[in-house]
């Protein structure tokens, strides 16, 4: 979701990963791409061009931004890598999915609908809270409210690990794609 208000919320963990990737790889500052309503940054990684994008629509409408971006940059959807939150996974867990349905995630559903395909890679970053014993507590009753909350102080260490693990997954996927 766009804006400072949502910057460190669970729904924006994908932006956190993309920001860290950009920082680590020396990408230029993000600028607004008006045609796609996205903040974008472009650079060369492992000899290949990489375009990072952070849609400035709300998560559940991000498909329109990604669709415009893929058309304007002539990006094949099979080369698209989406990094997003996943309430079905415990915080700190990372899963890579390719050519799979949305599993109820409205933002992913928006992309699939707008692109007309599910043939892209997803790096799913778990955001489900854990109990004090470290076990997942299950999905919260008010999902919308939960995903728009910031991470608790006691989750910071696990959050940093999750971002690092997702960053490594993104680097692995991109390295494989760029070869």
Strands of the chain (E only): list them: 31-33, 38-45, 48-55, 81-90, 94-98, 121-128
Tell me the C-alpha distance between 149 and 58, whole Å. 15
Judge whether 105 counts as a catalytic residue: no
Tell me the C-alpha distance between 85 and 122, whole Å. 10
Q: Cβ(103)–Cβ(111) under 8 Å?
A: no
Other beta carbons within 10 angstroms of residue 56's beta carbon come to: 17
Q: Which listed residue (10, 11, 105, 122) is catalytic?
A: 11
Tell me the C-alpha distance between 62 and 54, whole Å. 9
Q: Cβ(15)–Cβ(54) under 8 Å?
A: yes
Segment (H or E) for 67: helix 62-73
Residues assigned a catalytic role = 11
């Amino acid at each position: 979701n766009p804006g400072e208000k949502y910057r460190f919320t669970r729904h924006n963990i994908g932006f956190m990963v993309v920001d860290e990737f950009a920082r680590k790889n020396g990408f230029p500052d993000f600028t607004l791409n008006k045609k796609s309503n996205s903040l974008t940054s472009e650079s060369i990684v492992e000899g290949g061009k990489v375009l990072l994008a952070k849609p400035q629509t709300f998560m559940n409408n991000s498909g329109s931004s990604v669709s415009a971006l893929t058309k304007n940059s002539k990006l094949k959807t099979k080369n698209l890598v989406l990094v997003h939150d996943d309430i079905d996974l415990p915080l700190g867990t990372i899963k890579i999915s390719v050519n799979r349905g949305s599993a109820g995630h409205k933002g992913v559903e928006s992309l699939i609908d707008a692109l007309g395909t599910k043939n892209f890679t997803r790096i799913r970053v778990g955001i489900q809270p854990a109990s004090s014993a470290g076990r997942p507590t299950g999905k919260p009753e008010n999902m919308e409210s939960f995903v728009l909350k910031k991470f608790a102080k006691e989750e910071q260490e696990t959050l940093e690990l999750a971002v690092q693990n997702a960053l490594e997954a993104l680097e692995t996927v991109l390295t494989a794609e760029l070869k």
